[in-house]
Amino acid sequence: GDSVTQTEGQVALSEEDFLTIHCNYSASGYPALFWYVQYPGEGPQFLFRASRDKEKGSSRGFEATYDKGTTSFHLRKASVQESDSAVYYCALGDSNYNVLYFGSGTKLTVEP
């Protein structure tokens, strides 16, 4: 079945560091790929999406490029801030877009 793998459970950085959170997927067909962010005490919220190979999604300084060849959608940000501390989820939409399947999440902690 469709699945998403996030290899980093936790990432600790200092402000202005470069961020990479890895996301790899396994799916038949051509899934849509998403990043969601969850702040403490809140539910996950949509960050951005990409629907086709080589498409770049971006929001709030975060970006990721859909790579069908490597089945990846890695999240990057050039300079993180303390306010970026949150849990980040990679997700894929099945071919019918009925449901989203999520990765296990990566907790980002940014120290001032």
Partner 1 sequence: DTTVKQNPRYKLARVGKPVNLICSQTMNHDTMYWYQKKPNQAPKLLLFYYDKILNREADTFEKFQSSRPNNSFCSLYIGSAGLEYSAMYLCASRLGFTSAETLYFGSGTRLTVL
Residue ranges that bind partner 1, judged by CB under 8 A: 4, 9, 32, 34, 36, 41-46, 49, 51, 89, 93, 96-105
For tokens 């980093």, name the residue: 8
> Which is closer to partner 1, CB of 13 or CB of 90?
90
Q: Which residue lies nearer to partner 1 by CB, 73 or 101? A: 101
Nearer of residues 18 and 97 to partner 1, judged by Cβ:
97
Whole-angstrom CA distances from 91 to 17, 26, 103 are: 24, 11, 6
What would the two tokens of residue 35 be? 């990043």
